[in-house]
Amino acid sequence: MIRAVYPGSFDPVTFGHLDIIRRSSGLVDELIVGVLNNNAKSPLFSVGERVKMLEEVTEGMPKVRVLSFEGLLVDFARGVDACMVIRGLRAITDFEYELQMSQTNHKLDSKIETAFLTTSLEYSYLSSTTVKEVAAFGGDISQFVPKNVIDRIQEKYRRK
**Residue 19 CB, nearest approach to ligand ADP (Å):** 6
Query: How far apart are alpha carbons 62 and 70 in whole angstroms?
Result: 25
User: Of residues 25, 128, 132, 152, which has the active-site annotation?
Assistant: 128
User: Of residues 41, 46, 124, 147, which has the active-site annotation?
Assistant: 41
User: Of residues 9, 17, 24, 25, which has the active-site annotation?
Assistant: 17
Is 90 part of the annotated catalytic residue set? yes
Sheet holding 64-69, edge to edge: 64-69, 30-36, 3-8, 84-89, 113-118
Task: Give the binding-site size for ligand ADP (rule: CB under 6 A).
Answer: 16
Closest to ligand ADP by CB, 125 or 157:
125
Is residue 16 near ligand ADP by the rule CB under 6 A?
Answer: yes
Query: How far apart are alpha carbons 66 and 5 in whole angstroms?
Result: 10
- Residue closest to ligand ADP, measured at CB: 16
**Interface pattern 121-160 for ligand ADP (x via CB under 6 A):** --x--xxx--------------------------------
**Residue 38 CB, nearest approach to ligand ADP (Å):** 8
Is 110 part of the annotated catalytic residue set? no
Is 106 part of the annotated catalytic residue set? no
Query: How far apart are alpha carbons 160 and 143 in whole angstroms?
Result: 23
Inter-CA distances, 129 with 2, 11, 25, Å: 31, 8, 25
Q: Position 127: which residue type?
A: S
Exposure of 78 by Cβ count < 10 A (0-12 exposed, 13-18 middle, 19+ buried)? middle
- Considering only residues 27-86, where is the footprint of ligand ADP by CB under 6 A? none
Q: Which of 81, 79, 73, 65 is nearest to 9 (CA)?
A: 73
Return the residue of 119, 131, 141, 149 that touches ligand ADP, per CB under 6 A. 119
Query: How far apart are alpha carbons 1 and 130 in whole angstroms?
Result: 37
Q: Which residues make up the interface to ligand ADP (CB under 6 A)?
A: 8-10, 14, 16-17, 20, 87-88, 90, 94, 119, 123, 126-128
- The residues assigned a catalytic role are 17, 41, 90, 128
